């Protein structure tokens, strides 16, 4: 849910600012469905944001090296993130930065906690600053 919230807020920012260099792609539980859009956009940089069990305090944000993501694991996505990252690297030459946000709880259909929402705001603000600087 954290990644979807970040992407939707970045989408709104892009609509307001009409930024040609910043885009958001909302993959929800099937991020492989937006890989074609990502490749067509031809980004120089790609940031993937998702909730991630990091063993940290709720709302903490950490960069996750792509090579540390397992190939097959239980998650809420149809395909493991590692397969999507490898596909984007091969087809578009993109080496994404992966930001994991530690959830407070992982039960389905529950709203994000205040800690996670604060992390979403921090990530959005940082991405907006980077997008404006380009």
pLDDT at residue number 29: 67
End-to-end Cα, the chain, rounded Å: 28
pLDDT digits 0-9 by tens, 24-74: 998 776 777 888 999 999 898 899 998 888 899 999 999 998 888 764 443
Q: Are residues 54 and 106 in contact, defined by beta-carbon separation less than 8 angstroms?
A: no
Overall average pLDDT of the 87-108 stretch? 87
Strand extents, DSSP E, the chain: 47-51, 61-64, 97-101
pLDDT at residue number 103: 92
Q: What homologous superfamily does CATH list for 2-133?
A: HybD-like (3.40.50.1450)
Six token digits for residue 102: 């530690």
Higher pLDDT, 89 or 122: 122
Rounded-to-integer distance, Cα 80 and Cα 31, Å: 9
Task: Calculate the average pLDDT of the chain.
Answer: 85
Spans of all domains in the chain: 2-133
Q: Which residue stretches of 18-113 are H helix? A: 35-41, 81-92
pLDDT at residue number 134: 60
In this structure, what DSSP letter does residue 112 have? P
Of 84, 76, 80, 96, nearest in space to 2 by CA? 76
pLDDT at residue number 19: 81
């Amino acid at each position: 849910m954290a990644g979807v919230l970040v992407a939707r807020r970045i989408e709104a920012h892009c609509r307001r600012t009409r930024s040609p260099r910043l885009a958001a792609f909302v993959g929800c539980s099937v991020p492989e469905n937006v890989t074609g859009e990502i490749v067509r956009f031809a980004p120089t940089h790609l940031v993937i944001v998702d909730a991630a069990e990091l063993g940290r305090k709720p709302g903490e944000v950490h960069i996750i090296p792509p090579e540390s993501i397992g190939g097959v694991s239980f998650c809420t996505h149809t395909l493991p993130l590692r397969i999507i990252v490898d596909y984007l690297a091969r087809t578009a030459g993109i080496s994404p930065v992966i930001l994991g946000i530690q959830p407070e709880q992982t039960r389905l259909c529950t709203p994000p906690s205040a800690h996670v929402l604060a992390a979403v705001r921090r990530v959005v603000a940082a991405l907006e600053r980077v997008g404006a600087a380009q």
